[in-house]
A and B are shown apart, each in its own frame.
Chain A
Amino acid sequence: MIRFGPGNLRIPKFERPVYVVAGGMTDFRKKYPEKNTCELVTEATRMAFEENDLKVSAEELRREVNWCVYSQFADHFGDQLLAASKVHDYLGFDPLGNIEVKTGGATGGSSVLAAAQAVASGYASCVPVVGWERMDEVPTKVGNSYIASAACKDFESELGWMYAAYYALMAQRYQYENEVPRETLAKIAIKNHGYARFSPYSQNPGEYTVEDVLNNDIVSDPLSVLECCVMSVGAATLVLADEETAYRLSDNPMKLSAICGGTHTLRTADRRNMPILLLPNETEETYKEYFNGRRHEWPGFSSFLASRMAAYLAYNMAGIHDPVEDFDILETHDAFTISDIQTYEDIGLRPYGRGREFIESGEAYHGAKLPTNMSGGLIGSMHAVGATGIFQIIELLWQLQGKWDKYHADPEIWTKYGKKKPDDFKSLQVDGCKKGCAISHAGTGSHVTCAVLEKP
């Protein structure tokens, strides 16, 4: 669809407010043979129910639940179809209804969207959203083939069986059009590996220099290993509720003022040229000069229409005018350094063609204008795909509640995961944090959700 009719751009509306009450997660690892999937999911859910300073016991909260949403990307990886049923039973929620959501890398975000729809419509009043991925049953090379099964198998998958290659194609084109210094891209990897050092849950923390990133092994030219997300095992659980239930459960629930989804063609190749869909902080004037030079198409290979669509709907739904001004914290789906820069533009942090400025200005760092991926993101912390979009919103929840330290700074949590809290540990709590945004993203931009979580 490249021309919109009057109904296509309708701004979504919740019939009643939706709140996020609690969150829990496991740590994330490349391999996790010590625990099976059911055990991991229980660990994350128990943390959400028992360790979020709720006003009710875990048992009382279990008795509030009336619908469940499960989030797992790939049956291939877990090698268990209908895994949601197994997990639902293991958690003791039978015979309550449930649904399992699948939208690739955005499965977590879409699952939260499905749960929010259930609460907002009145269908349910208390909904756990439970996500996981078990990516360690096969070698990494086979895992990459499984992930590339989420490209078009008739016309794309055979070309590399490797998603990083599909992003590398976009990276080359983006760089041809925008000429972002490689150092700027490396800074995103350094930032997210660096923030992951302060998370006991993270899989791939590290202190790196620009040279480390640029001289690292190339996966698919130009992307190096350190610029690509990890492949993880782990789980995350979020609890959503309506207003009355939320305040009965918690003194400090956060309002999910919007969560909206957009899509675009699975094959990057099939993206037709169309007019730019403008965000509230853009006008036609913004792009008067845009199509000069090497940029002559939108979205082309350099932009994600799905991200733009999701942000367009969510910003209008939540009354966001300028994301850099209005948000205090952001979690992006930094699957690759290049896609992070693309996303900055799609969600309006900078106009198209100027995404690099968001990193170069320093705004994306802790203590600056819009701290981004304090969690360590997908590059530093985790990408247990079904859990990822849920993990992002849990990190936002704890930041907004002012409880980041409780879940990251306690040395006992580090010990629990067999890790040592770094001697130079730094709190990444964002002071005065009132409004946050999370982007969950699939394919080469096939599905994207944009969530806005705020203090009520």
Chain B
Amino acid sequence: MANPWPTAQAEVISESPLAIKNPKTWSHYHTYGGWGKFFQGLQQKKLLATRCTNAACGEKSLWLPPRCECVDCWHPTEWIEAPQSGEIVTWSLVKYPGELFRLPADTTLISVELEGVCTKLMSWLKDGKAEIGMKVKAVFNTDAPTNTILDLAWVPA
């Protein structure tokens, strides 16, 4: 018996020029690898940063986002808790976020400077109106975690 024709109907968007709809609905399996400790740390209300363990390396700041290897010497790093309060370096109210954004429009994105950390962590402000220089403290989404960077947010200190 001959094989049947495919049953799924390709939706025609336009006849001239002929254009059809190609649906895609699968998920990606994404590993955080060694960085997973940071996301698991958020569930314990810890802000886990990394620091180079190589005595000969000059880079001794905390890094957040963390790195399992030092950017300057590629030696392993160690995990150290970063301070949970800091200062807003910059901010923006997002009016038209992209399709995959899990928070509503008008969410305030912020970059936060923390004592001893050489980077400026990007995050979001859960409450209050942002200003550069404003003191903020970390809050953690532990009730229904997304296991993404969104599980960390900040509120006025």
Distance to closest chain A CB from B118 (angstroms)? 5
One of A111-119, A161-169, A247-255 contacting the partner: A161-169
Interface size counted on chain B using CB atoms at 8 A: 39
Query: How many Å lie between the Cα of A74 and that of B65 in the bound state?
Result: 25
Contact of B89 among A142, A173, A220 (CB under 8 A): A173
Query: How many Å lie between the Cα of A170 and that of B90 in the bound state?
Result: 7
Is there an interface contact between B89 and A145, defined as CB atoms closer than 8 Å?
A: no
Is there an interface contact between B90 and A176, defined as CB atoms closer than 8 Å?
A: yes
- Counting chain B CB atoms within 10 Å of each CB, the highest count among A34, A176, A221 belongs to A221
Given the known inter-chain contacts A159-B122, A269-B111, A269-B120, please indicate yes or no for A220 contacting B22, CB distance below 8 A. no
Is there an interface contact between A220 and B99, defined as CB atoms closer than 8 Å?
A: no
Q: Does A218 lie at the interface of the complex (its beta carbon under 8 Å from any beta carbon of B)?
A: yes
Given the known inter-chain contacts A33-B19, A154-B149, please indicate yes or no for A169 contacting B122, CB distance below 8 A. yes
Is there an interface contact between B101 and A162, defined as CB atoms closer than 8 Å?
A: yes
Chain A residues lying within 8 Å of B94, measured Cβ to Cβ, are 160, 162, 165, 168, 220-221
Distance to closest chain B CB from A12 (angstroms)? 24
Chain B residues lying within 8 Å of A144, measured Cβ to Cβ, are 96-99
Is there an interface contact between A158 and B119, defined as CB atoms closer than 8 Å?
A: no
**In residues 26-80 of chain A, which contact B (Cβ within 8 Å)?**
33-34, 79
Is there an interface contact between A220 and B150, defined as CB atoms closer than 8 Å?
A: no
Is there an interface contact between A220 and B93, defined as CB atoms closer than 8 Å?
A: yes
Is there an interface contact between A159 and B124, defined as CB atoms closer than 8 Å?
A: yes
Closest B residue to A142 by CB, please name it: B99
Chain A residues lying within 8 Å of B30, measured Cβ to Cβ, are 153
Binary CB contact string for chain A from 248 to 276 against chain B (1 if under 8 A, 0 otherwise): 00000000000000000001111111000
Is there an interface contact between A269 and B119, defined as CB atoms closer than 8 Å?
A: yes
Is there an interface contact between A162 and B102, defined as CB atoms closer than 8 Å?
A: no
Chain B residues lying within 8 Å of A318, measured Cβ to Cβ, are none
Is there an interface contact between A272 and B132, defined as CB atoms closer than 8 Å?
A: no
Query: How many Å lie between the Cα of A162 and that of B22 in the bound state?
Result: 24
Is there an interface contact between A156 and B92, defined as CB atoms closer than 8 Å?
A: no
Query: How many Å lie between the Cα of A171 and that of B100 in the bound state?
Result: 23
Closest A residue to B120 by CB, please name it: A269
Distance to closest chain A CB from B78 (angstroms)? 19
Is there an interface contact between A141 and B111, defined as CB atoms closer than 8 Å?
A: no
Q: Does A235 lie at the interface of the complex (its beta carbon under 8 Å from any beta carbon of B)?
A: no
Supply 12 A–B pairs (Cβ within 8 Å), ascending by A.
Answer: A1-B72, A145-B100, A148-B100, A158-B102, A159-B122, A160-B107, A162-B97, A168-B94, A172-B91, A220-B92, A267-B119, A273-B118
| A-B pairs with lowest CB-CB distance, top 10 | A161-B98, A168-B92, A144-B98, A173-B90, A145-B98, A221-B93, A145-B99, A155-B65, A162-B98, A141-B99
Residues in chain A within 8 A of chain B (CB atoms) = 1, 33-34, 79, 139, 141-142, 144-145, 147-148, 152-162, 164-165, 168-173, 176, 217-222, 267-273, 301
Q: Known pairs A145-B99, A154-B65, A168-B109; list 15 more (Cβ under 8 Å).
A: A144-B99, A148-B98, A154-B149, A160-B97, A161-B99, A165-B97, A172-B92, A217-B96, A220-B109, A221-B92, A222-B92, A267-B119, A267-B122, A268-B122, A272-B119
